[in-house]
Structure 1
Amino acid sequence: MGDLRLWSQQRDGRPQALVAAGGWETLGFGRSRGMGDLRLWSQQRDGTPQALVAAEGWDTSGFGRSRGMGDLRLWSQQRDGRPQALVAAERWETLGFGRSRGMGHLRLWSQQRDGRP
């Protein structure tokens, strides 16, 4: 999640983005908290309702499998329509023990978004 904080910092440098990212947490049973934070972050980013709808559609099931990836794909598509963003979003996965995989892909996505390491 430090990567996500770093990503938000590289994106716009706004402290509210860092606070929102810092509020994200994955629980030991594969359930996720912090969706309200992500909603707030997307609202502060651009205020577009499609971003809020996509964020609200995110859901992590109790078995550690993630649902709502289609919503995140839709969000990234509405944001910039670039296929690399869709590929990165598709690679995100939450494991059953509350550990997350795919941060490298999200880093790659942010790198392709603005070219900053």
Structure 2
Amino acid sequence: VSALTRRVRSSGAEVLAASQGRTTAVYSVALAAARFVERVLAAREGEENVVVHAFVQCPRGSAPYMTQPVLLCRRGVGRVLQAGSLSGTEQCEFELLLPKLLRAAKRGKDVVAQRGR
């Protein structure tokens, strides 16, 4: 588990190194955004059981907002789904990273507030 965790954490740098400066990881973000929009549009058109992960109010209470699986419907989020339980190792990692996640979320909210949206 620790080897896999290290590999996932360094995956962004690995992608950049493999591209040798010819491309950036921005394409991964663009692809993820495109897939998300496709799923939202599918739900708006009536497709059922569309599940995506979205930054929503956190039902667990450890943070005001967190990425959670959500069931989409024609009008948007139909229901926030349970993310599942964490293993002991995952819970420890989550607790270690939570302050960093909270700071990043606050920075994002501050940027939106400054832009007046």
TM-score bracket relative to the smaller structure: under 0.3
Q: Name whichever structure is richer in strand by fraction.
A: 2
Higher RCO structure (Cα 8 Å, ≥6 apart): 1
Q: Name whichever structure is richer in helix by fraction.
A: 1
